[in-house]
Amino acid sequence: MMLELLMLFGGLLVGGYFLLHMTFLKLPRCTSAAKLHGKTAIVTGANTGIGKTTAMDLARRGARVILACRDKRRAEAAIQEIIQETGNSQVIFMQLDLASLQSVRSFADNFLQSESRLDLLINNAGLMKGGKTEDGFGMIFGVNHLGHFLLTVLLLDRLKASKPSRVVTVASKAYEMGKVDFNSLTTHRELGLGSTGYQLFQKYCHSKLCNVLFTYELAKRLQGTDVTCYSVHPGAIKTEIGRHAGFWWKLIMTPIVVLFFMDATSGAQTTLHCALEQGIEHLSGHYFTQCAPLMNIESKARDDATAKKLWELSESFCGLS
């Protein structure tokens, strides 16, 4: 009798978990049938996770896809897999270390010299890691925001020349817990202080708010150019973003991630929607989740003064002003 009850309880648990995955944890799919032959896309951090899945989909649609990555070995392994899966040989590696502004400039120079057009820029790479960048910025701020800011600005003219074109920046719902502390940025070149697992997570949240504000301000500056931009929340996705986290953080988070987070294919869908879906051009600057714009976004993500100040400070940090 006890065994039967245990089996019944186990069956209910498995059934409930399956039902949860098929309802609350199931994410919408990008439904665009767009073909991308003759188009060129850059995907940062494309050797793993959401970036790799995004690059795979774009390659399958016929695009020339640039994998902008720091690790050449892992990027080349991803390229071989993408070519094998899609039959598209127009998938290439270009060195990009977002923790180095010089590397960002070198990447942009190499790209502009070797490629004639740019239709899609997917600012996908992100990390949650302590330490400083080559230029003395907090690693999370430097990689998640500043490196992508400089990359986008340096490629804007090519995006405009290839219009209609799009910029998609992978943000996160974590922006809701973020803030932009300009005093910390100007004094320490950091989004916050401390290096515990929770403090790194806080900085990650702050950087995701920077992503959303960057996209909001970028859209204003691109009005009338036929270049549109979007920020996205990919969902709760199993990626390698927490690989640098400490032991206790991993101990707490790993069971949650395994049970309740979605795969990278699910995580790429809103990125692909914003990159490919026709008829969303008027929503440039908006934040998307589950393949739809979030119209009731928090006011701090639509603060004109904060967005403008972040842009101007980022220009100064990058030596653009």
Q: Are the C-beta atoms of residues 46 and 67 closer than 8 Å to each other?
A: yes
Q: Is residue 17 part of a domain?
A: no
Sheet with 227-233: list strands edge to edge.
91-95, 64-69, 40-44, 120-123, 165-170, 227-233, 287-289, 292-293
Residues contacting residue 280 through CB under 8 Å, at least 6 positions apart: 228, 230, 274, 293
Q: What is the structure's pLDDT at 11?
A: 47
User: What is the pLDDT, as a whole number, of residue 217?
Assistant: 98
What does the alpha-carbon distance between residue 98 and residue 125 come to, in Å, rounded to a whole number? 8
| Residue 303 CB partners (closer than 8 Å, separation 6+) | 213
Residue 25 lies in a domain: no
Q: Within 13 Å and on the Cβ side, how many CA atoms surround 193?
A: 5
Half-sphere exposure of residue 90: CA atoms within 13 angstroms, side-chain side: 17
| Continuous segment of H or E residues that includes residue 15 | helix 2-22
pLDDT tens per residue, range 3-50: 555 555 544 544 444 444 444 455 799 999 999 999 999 999 999 999
> Does residue 145 lie within any of the structural domains?
yes
121 within 8 A of 166, measured Cβ to Cβ? yes
Is residue 157 in a domain?
Answer: yes
Query: Residue 99 is part of which domain span?
Result: 31-317
Task: Identify any residues that bridge with 94 across adjacent strands, giving them in sequence order.
Answer: 68
Q: Which residue has the higher pLDDT, 242 or 306?
A: 306
- Is residue 228 very low, low, confident or very high in pLDDT (cuts 50, 70, 90)? very high
State pLDDT tens for residues 244-274: 555 554 555 455 544 445 666 888 999 999 9
Q: Is residue 8 classed exposed, middle or buried when 0-12, 13-18 and 19+ CB atoms within 10 A define those classes?
A: exposed
- Residue showing tokens 């019944």: 8
Three-state secondary structure call for residue 119? coil
Q: In this predicted model, what pLDDT tens digit does every residue of 121-168 receive, in sequence order? A: 999 999 999 999 999 999 999 999 999 999 999 999 999 999 999 999
* Selection from 254, 131, 311 nearest residue 203 by Cα: 131
**Identified catalytic residue from 17, 175, 198, 204:** 204
Query: In terms of DSSP bridges, do strands 227-233 and 165-170 run parallel, antiparallel, or are they unpaired?
Result: parallel
Residue 3 lies in a domain: no
Nearest to 231 by CA among 159, 298, 279, 293: 293
Percent of the chain whose predicted confidence (pLDDT) is above 90 = 81
Nearest Cα residue to 124 out of 67, 162, 163, 60 = 67
Residue that has been written with the tokens 């940062």 in this structure: 44
User: What's the number of domains the chain is made of?
Assistant: 1
Q: What is the mean pLDDT of residues 103-124?
A: 98
How far CA 47 is from CA of 14, 119, 133, 245, in Å, comes to 33, 20, 21, 20
161 assigned to some structural domain: yes
- What sign for the dihedral angle of Cα 157, 158, 161, 167? negative
What is the bridge-based pairing of β-strands 91-95 and 287-289? unpaired
Q: Within a domain: residue 160?
A: yes
How far from 55 is each of 60, 109, 168, CA to CA, in Å?
8, 22, 13
Residue type, 77: A
Average pLDDT, the chain: 89
CA 295 from centre of chain: 20
Residue 49 belongs to some domain of the structure = yes
Query: Rounded distance, CA 218 to CA 148, Å?
Result: 12
The CATH number given to whatever domain includes residue 282 is 3.40.50.720
- Known catalytic membership, residue 198: no
- pLDDT range class, residue 235, cuts 50, 70, 90: confident
